[in-house]
Amino acid sequence: MGAKTALLAYADGDVASSLREAGEPEGAGTAALVAQVFPGWGMELTEGDVLGEATYPPEGLTYAASFPGVDLVCDRRLMFDRPSELPTHLLEAAAGRRVILHAMHSVSDWLAFAVWEEGCLRRSLSLSPDGGIVENIGDPFPFEMPYWAGDRPVESHLGWGEEPYALPFHPLDLGNEALRALFGFLLEGRPLPEDVDSDEVPLLGFALTDPDAPRRAQERAAREAAARRMQRRSLRLGPDGSWREAVGG
């Protein structure tokens, strides 16, 4: 499995229905959306991509689209171990719409997703085989039930000394099912006729500049300079038995 996502959506209704009729993203609305999600950041339009290839952008890039009925933002900075702690400004940007967060990473078998309705958290789940269940808030959605019931176990061929999988199901299996249920498309597996073709949904690309980057660079340089000064210090034992910095280093 190689599926990775870092996806945030604001939806008026059913996301899949909106994506099927998406067309081209609205430029000014998409730029305004990115500015809401990353307030104060510098923003430069760059090459876009399709949704099926854009759910986990390269470092420093953001893919986004504003369509009638749904806004989408894909960015690695939207991956949270505890989705319930989504920053307040991201929830406020919803303006009463449904908020859906979906994040998963195939290297660690980690999955997190959450849904807010009218500003209230309805469901949040975050889990991985190494970290266990980090967050499990609200009633499971119907698409989750077979997994929690043990009907979707991880197929294993245990050898000598190996242990069974740490969870009753594979997080990426549930993650793909969550994508289908919440967004209407899959990244892996056999699509159904009614699934959204994510390779036909275009997103715009943006290169963002962190406004705090210069300040952090200055602070890092100051720390490194202080560390170098400390390394050059020479201490000498004084006549009273205490250690003192030697004059002239």
**Nearest to residue 185, comparing CAs of 174, 167, 171, 197?**
197
Q: What is the pLDDT of residue 1?
A: 45
Cβ(114)–Cβ(79) below 8 Å: no
In a shared domain, residues 235 and 113: no
In a shared domain, residues 173 and 118: yes
pLDDT of 225 higher than 80: no
Cβ(205)–Cβ(61) below 8 Å: yes
The pLDDT-based confidence of 155 (bands split at 50, 70, 90) is confident
In a shared domain, residues 132 and 233: no
In a shared domain, residues 22 and 82: yes
Domain total of the chain: 2
In a shared domain, residues 197 and 225: no
Q: Note the pLDDT tens digit of each residue in 27-78.
A: 999 999 999 999 999 999 999 999 999 999 999 899 999 999 999 999 999 9
Among the residue ranges 97-111, 121-135, 161-175, 229-243, the one predicted with the least confidence is: 229-243
Domain of 220 in residue numbering reads as 215-245
Q: What percent of the chain has pLDDT over 70?
A: 84
Structure tokens at 13: 């209704």
In a shared domain, residues 45 and 97: yes
In a shared domain, residues 199 and 228: no
Q: What is the pLDDT of residue 211?
A: 84
In a shared domain, residues 132 and 169: yes
Within 10 A of 246 (CB to CB), how many other CB atoms are there? Answer: 10
217 φ, ψ to 5°? -65, -40
